[in-house]
Chains A and B, each alone.
Chain A
């Protein structure tokens, strides 16, 4: 059973640029969420996708957007990068079925630095 994989592991971008982060869900999982973890803080929920539809969003501006593909892999896109976007971005996948939630498995994250 493969876990959640994210790419790239590290990334440096310039303020104003755009970035795309990628995530492959754990086999059998149909739900994916993205989290932003700033240094010294707990992860903050960005959004969640279930069967290719966004079905939950945290307090993040529209320049944070995402996609989920038919194979349940996912992308997080951030436009017009700001210095405060520097953080660890975590992807988490889960199986949700008939209203039951079985807990998330996290990927090892992408560490984004905006300069």
Chain B
């Protein structure tokens, strides 16, 4: 089983739609969780951290369920500029202080006019 698994996508949605991405992880010792966004042929950029209590940033809401080892990202009122690949990322615990990011394969989102 892969360490991080995401919806394979792609997701093609109209402007204004609500879209949800799901991610599961296998390493229960993972300590930090993030969603990154990557535009075509560009570097990944941090979208938001994910906390067990859930967190919201404008149109974006992230949730973490440690018991189910499940992470989600909800985008409301989709904009054309939201078109990108969304990467689920975790940081496994390492006593050596090594903060290795473990990425999912990513889910591509295309928002259509």
Please state if B94 and A35 are interface contacts (CB–CB under 8 Å).
no
Q: Which residues of B contact A58 (CB under 8 A)?
A: 100
Q: In B10-48, which residues have CB < 8 Å from any A CB?
A: 32, 34, 42-46
Q: Interface residue count for B (Cβ, 8 Å)? A: 23
Known: A42-B87, A90-B43. A99 touches B97 (CB 8 A): yes
Please state if B97 and A55 are interface contacts (CB–CB under 8 Å).
yes
B72 contacts the other chain (Cβ, under 8 Å)?
no
Name B's A-contacting residues (CB within 8 A): 4, 32, 34, 42-46, 49, 87, 91, 94, 96-106
Please state if A104 and B100 are interface contacts (CB–CB under 8 Å).
no
Please state if B32 and A101 are interface contacts (CB–CB under 8 Å).
yes
Known: A31-B99, A42-B103, A44-B103. A103 touches B49 (CB 8 A): yes
Please state if A94 and B99 are interface contacts (CB–CB under 8 Å).
yes
Give B76 Cβ to nearest chain A Cβ, in Å: 24
| Pairs A–B under 8 Å by Cβ, sample size 27 | A31-B99, A33-B99, A33-B101, A35-B101, A42-B4, A42-B103, A42-B104, A42-B105, A42-B106, A43-B44, A43-B101, A45-B101, A48-B100, A55-B97, A55-B98, A56-B94, A56-B96, A56-B99, A92-B101, A101-B99, A103-B46, A103-B49, A104-B101, A106-B43, A106-B45, A108-B42, A108-B43
Number of A-B contacts (CB under 8 A): 61
A96 contacts the other chain (Cβ, under 8 Å)?
yes
Closest 8 CB pairs of A and B: A56-B98, A42-B103, A106-B43, A101-B99, A45-B100, A42-B105, A108-B43, A43-B103
Please measure, in the bound complex, the distance between the C-alpha atom of A108 and the C-alpha atom of B100, giving whole angstroms: 19
Q: Quick one: closest B residue to A48, CB to CB?
A: B98
Extra contacts besides A45-B100, A92-B101, A101-B91 (7): CB < 8 Å: A43-B103, A50-B97, A55-B98, A56-B100, A101-B32, A103-B46, A107-B43
